[in-house]
Each structure stands twice: as C-alpha cells, then as structure tokens.
Structure 1
C-alpha cells in the first residue's frame, strides 16, 4: 500500500532536497541568532543574574507554583468532564429529526462558537453578580470554558457523524432499528473513534484556556507566576519558568493523546 504522504505529494528530487536542506539550515541559523540576541539583551539588563533565578530553587516558591499548576489541571479536568458530554448531547440535538430540538441546539452552537471566551468570562464576572448571582472564582472561570468548548465538541461530534457513509445508517434501519437506536448502536461508536484525535486536541486546548484565570483573579499557574514576579521583581524569570512548565505539560499530554489515539483508531505508531 502506498503511504498517505507519498500518495498526496511527489518525493523531492536532488535539487528539491538541496533547497529543503538550505532552507532548514537558514531557518536554524536565524533561530539561533534570535535566541542569542534575546539572551544577550537579557544579560545586558541583568535578567540573567543568578540572584534573580535562585528564587525558583526555594521550596516555598516551588510549592506555590505547584499549587498554581494543580489549579490549572483542576480547571482543565473539571471543564473537560462537563463540556465533553454536554457537547455530545448538543450534537445529538443538532442531528435530531425534530426542528424544535434541532434549531435551539444549532443556535446555541453557532452563538457560543462566535462569542470570544474572554467575553463569556466577563459576563460571569460582572453580569451575574449584577443579577444577584455570585459564583466562586473557580466556577467563574470553569463555566465559561465549559459553555464555549461544549459548542466546539458538538461540532466535532456532528462532523464525525456526517462523515460516516450513509450506508451505516441505512443498514441499521434495514435491521429494524429506530433512528436513536441506530445512532447509539452503530453510528456514534464509529463517530467517536473517528473524532478521537480532534477531541483529544480540543481537550488539550482547555489547558491553555485556563490561562485566562487572571481575569477573575483565580490563581492558576500563569497568574501565580505573575503575582510572584510582581512581588519579587522577577516577572521575566517567572514567565520563562512557567512557559517551560507549560511546554513540559503539553508535551506529556500530546504523548498521552498519541497513545490514546493509537488505541482508539488502531493506527500503528508513526516512524520518523
């Protein structure tokens, strides 16, 4: 069988490979130059002094940042646990044969996908207290993330269902199964399997959405670094340390997502 990449693109010839090598080398040189320029600028302004970094080797500071990391993970897990099934229900409503069910679900999905997450957070921060409803800081951040991402999950589920061959549904009906039984027994399991990579990617994005916690003064990881940096005059160092932590967490999540994707879809690990 011809690999997917070879089927879509012709392999480059000798001249094409030379151009790719030259472009790669040039890009690496530019990145190295920019990195050196940034480090040099930090050194000139005293940002690389050991005293400014020694703070992050002290256990109270490490413990403080670990608490912020836990709050980030907690928001991500809780929001995902609510948004994922909510999005599945919305997708089923959009696929309903009844217009009374389908139209409100479609309106919700389109509106929530169009409204910026930051605006939703402001609604929970300023709008609800004005109406006499005040939520804890955690839920002022979590509920906007849930409402926004549920609409995205709904479209991922619906697109996966629409991508399935119509013969799957027709086969269920031929066996005497009703619409919802066909969806539950035949269509949805295949749709979940096909949409697994997109669902996992969106779940990882929830981690990045949690960085808006500063709006409601919720001390997730990024806001914890900001508070710590302003108090100790190490804002640059704090952001760099936290950025490195985010990279490690996202790499770990991406690796776990790849394992789940291979288990669900049955694809072999990629080589190279």
Structure 2
C-alpha cells in the first residue's frame, strides 16, 4: 500500500505550483505586515498635541538598566508561578476525586456530582475569584488559587472520567476475575491507565491554568501583569507602558511555550508506550481539552455498543 492517503489523490504539477505560489505570496504578506509593524513602532508620534519619542526609541527602554525593575518583575513572575503551582496540585487532586465520584455506580453519588461539575464548568473563573474574595474573605492569593482549583479540577476530572470510560471492558473483568473488588479494580488497574492516557490533556489544561492566573489582576493579587502594567507603569510613567507590556508578553510566552513543548513531548512518549519515536517524528498536535474529552467519550460509547446485540442486549 502506498504512503499516500486513501482519501485524497496526490497533488499534480499544477496543484504543487499553485501551492508554491500561495506559500510565496503568504510569506511576502507576512513580511510586509512585520515591516509595517516595525516601521510604525519606530516612528515618533504625537499624544495630546505633544510630540513623544517612538516606541522603539532607547529612552523608552532605559528603565531596564535598573536592577530594581528586574527585581519587581522577578517577584511578579514568582507570584504567578506560585499561584499556578499550588492551583495545579489542587486541581489534579480535585480532578481525581471528581472522576471517581462521577464514574460511581451509585446514582445518588454520580448524579449530584454531575450537576456540580456542570455548575462549576459554566461559571466564569473571574466570578469565582470575586465570589470567594467577597464572601469568604480569603485574601487575593487564595481567591485566585481556589477558583483555579475548582474550575480546572472539573475539566481534569472530566478528562480522567472519559479516560476511564474509554478503557476496554476486559480490564475490569480481568481484575474482577482475580478477586479484586470494583473499587480496587478502578484504583489499581483502570485509573493508572486512564491517567497515563489523559496526561497530555491534563498538562495542556495546566497551561490554560497558568494563563488564567492573570485574572488575579482584577482581585488585587500582585502577579506579573499587575506588577508590570500597573505598579511599574504607574511609578515610572506611561511612556514605558509598551516596554513593560513587551517584557511581560515575552515572559508569558517563554513559560507557556516551555509547558506546551513538555506537553507535546509527553504526548509523544505516551503515544509510543514510553519508547522513542523512530525518525524523530513530530508529536500529534495538542487538541483542546474539552474536544479531547468528547472524543474519549465517543470512543467509550462506541466500545460499549460493540458489546450489545441488535436488541441492545450484551
């Protein structure tokens, strides 16, 4: 069987030529947009009738020669990572609990858990933070952490539940046949497999969790954005606003791209059973966690239907 797709014909000379032309045109357009952005940033401007230096002018970047500025940025970055780390541990722990309760065979446990999960998934994270801060008076840090734990714990729990549901029925039947109880089978046989299967999705959700720590700006938590875009900009003046914005963006990109790279590496490792992929093949693209959960649930339903006869009898 040839390596070409069975659904699409291999492109001919005309298609390859059109694809090459489109790629060249697209590259030229992208370079033109980048050149326009650089030219715009390098041009002096007028604000309120007063000439001000260009954004790329060195006078807008001289504050970064001050060690105090980097000290403040470092403290904001540490505060962001601290909230994200505590919330990540709590979200994973809560997700494990939710997945076990949601997949319980007892109706009065499973149904209220499903209602609670739907409520938490539908509530905006910022409203959770404000509610916790105003009602529980926990302080800004714990308002951010608890809200992130609740919201992301529901998504991680749904991912783990979908992973449990997508496992072959033979896993549980084999565990029960050797004398294990249902809870033992779930904890010792099924759950480790589901956790490993959904681990890349969990890591991808933790990337979202890290970015959501920026909502702490609204509730007064001194994370990275509040430190740079509010405190430092107010102290040094608005002319450094873009410079601080650029540095903040670079820090977030460095952290999130590192986590995304780790998630892709983890997906490649888990997909290959812990072995290296031959030829250095690229990892499968990370999907949205909600989409992955629905896909796992669909696979679980398909596997369940295979065990039913035409009349729906197993």
Query: Deviation at 1:262?
Result: 4.3
| Correspondence for 2:281 | 271
- Give the 3 Å change call, closer, same or farther, for CA 181–201 of structure 1 in structure 2: same
Return the offset for 1:137. Answer: 1.4
After TM superposition, give the deviation of residue 267 of structure 1 in Å: 5.0
- SS of the aligned residue for 1:167 comes to helix
Aligned to 2:78: 70
Question: Is structure 2 residue 28 aligned with structure 1 residue 29?
Answer: yes
Partners of 1:250 and 1:94 in 2: CA distance: 30
**Counterpart position of 2:260:** 254
Change in CA separation of 1:85 and 1:74 when aligned onto 2, cut-off 3 Å: same
Superposed displacement of residue 2, structure 1: 8.8
Change (3 A) 1:253 1:43: same
Name the counterpart of 2:247.
241
CA distance in 2: counterparts of 1:78 and 1:2, whole angstroms: 50
Cα RMSD after superposing both structures = 2.3
Equivalent in the alignment of 1:18: 17
Structure 2 portions without partners, runs of 5+: 46-53, 283-314
> Residues of 2 paired with 1:11 and 1:61: CA distance?
56
Match of 1:230 in 2: 234
* Matching of residue 122 in structure 1 with residue 130 in structure 2: yes
Structure-2 separation of matches of 1:199 and 1:7:
33
Judging changes above 3 Å, is the alpha-carbon distance between structure 1 residues 164 and 15 closer, same or farther for their aligned structure 2 residues? farther
Tell whether the 8 Å contact from 1:229 to 1:236 is kept in structure 2 after alignment: no
In structure 2, the residue matched to 1:203 is: 206
TM-score with structure 1 setting the length: 0.89
Match of 1:183 among 165, 186, 204: 186
Q: Which runs of 5+ in 1 are unaligned?
A: none
Greater gyration radius: 2
CA distance in 1, matches of 2:83, 2:7: 40
SS of residue in 1 equivalent to 2:259: helix
Q: Secondary structure of 1:216's match? A: coil
Which secondary structure state, in structure 2, belongs to the residue aligned with residue 176 of structure 1?
Answer: coil
Which of 88, 94, 102 is equivalent to 1:94?
A: 102
For the residues of structure 2 that align with 1:112 and 1:94, how far apart are their CA atoms?
14
Instruction: Deviation per CA, 1:159-180: give whole Å up to 9, x if none.
Output: 1111111221222222232111
In the other structure, the counterpart of 1:106 is 114
Following TM superposition, by how much is the alpha carbon of 1:37 offset from its aligned partner in structure 2, in angstroms?
1.8
Moved more, 256-265 or 140-149: 256-265
How far is the alpha carbon of 1:198 from its aligned partner? 0.2
Distance in 1 of aligned mates of 2:165 and 2:41:
52
Distance in 2 (CA, whole Å) between partners of 1:20 and 1:231 is 52
Pick closer, same or farther for the CA change 1:242–1:178 going to 2, 3 Å.
Answer: same
Per the alignment, in what secondary structure is the counterpart of residue 119 of structure 1? helix
Residues 246 and 102 (structure 1), Cα distance of their counterparts in 2 relative to 1, 3 Å cut: same
Cα offset, 1:25, TM superposition = 2.6
Higher mean alpha-carbon deviation, 256-265 vs 42-51, is at: 256-265
Counterpart-to-counterpart distance in 2, 1:187 and 1:49: 60
Residues 220, 21 of structure 1: CA spacing in aligned structure 2 closer, same or farther, 3 A cutoff? farther
Matched, 1:160 2:163: yes
The alignment of Structure 1 onto Structure 2 pairs a total of residues equal to 266
Q: Using CA pairs below 8 Å that are at least 6 residues apart, which structure has the higher relative contact order?
A: 1
What CA deviation, in whole Å up to 9, does each residue of 1:3-26 have, x standing for no partner? Answer: 8x9577665444443333333333
